[in-house]
Amino acid sequence: MSTSLPLPLEGLPEAPSGPPVAKRPVRAAAVGAPKSVARQGVLTALRPDPRLGDGRYPIAWLHICAPRGAVPTATSWCACGRDRSAVGHRKVLSLIADHADHRDLCPLRTTQKGGNVA
């Protein structure tokens, strides 16, 4: 009998005979500019905010959460230290009225003489 050699399969590479060799990492080029360029900066990025307010800022918040079909909740918070919350229809309505009354009594909104700030 004659010995026949195995035919190579089409489209498949030959299997390596030795241990696999690790590929060396390719050093990628640095991305961006040198560090010295960042110090120069862009002048428009250093300008102050052109939208200046009129000097007013909020000091009291009233947060009401009343999803349909659920129990409503509310929180009243003021920068003077007042922090109250309520759960339920009647208590939330009472807290809303109390929050409105606090605007007239808050020490941050009144002057030393007792009058309201204009």
Residue-range definition of the domain harbouring residue 77? 60-105
Averages of pLDDT over runs of 10 residues in the chain (118 residues) are 64 70 69 58 58 76 92 94 94 95 86 51
- Would 79 be classed as within a structural domain? yes
How many Å is the maximal CA-CA distance in the chain? 122
**What pLDDT score does 98 carry?**
95
CA 62 and chain centroid, separation: 22
- Would 90 be classed as within a structural domain? yes
**What pLDDT score does 72 carry?**
95
Q: How many domains does the chain have?
A: 1
Q: How far apart are CA 56 and CA 18, in angstroms?
A: 77
Q: How far apart are CA 67 and CA 83, in angstroms?
A: 22
**Partner residues linked to 73 by β-bridges:** 65, 87
Q: Classify 45 as helix, strand or coil.
A: helix
The arrangement of strands across the sheet holding 73-78 comes to 60-65, 73-78, 83-87
- Would 86 be classed as within a structural domain? yes
**Beta carbons of 95 and 89 less than 8 angstroms apart:** no
- Would 14 be classed as within a structural domain? no
- Would 89 be classed as within a structural domain? yes
Two structure tokens written together for 56 = 């007013």
- Would 64 be classed as within a structural domain? yes
- Would 82 be classed as within a structural domain? yes
- Would 84 be classed as within a structural domain? yes
Q: How far apart are CA 75 and CA 33, in angstroms?
A: 51
Cα-flanking dihedrals φ and ψ of residue 95, to 5°?
-70, -35
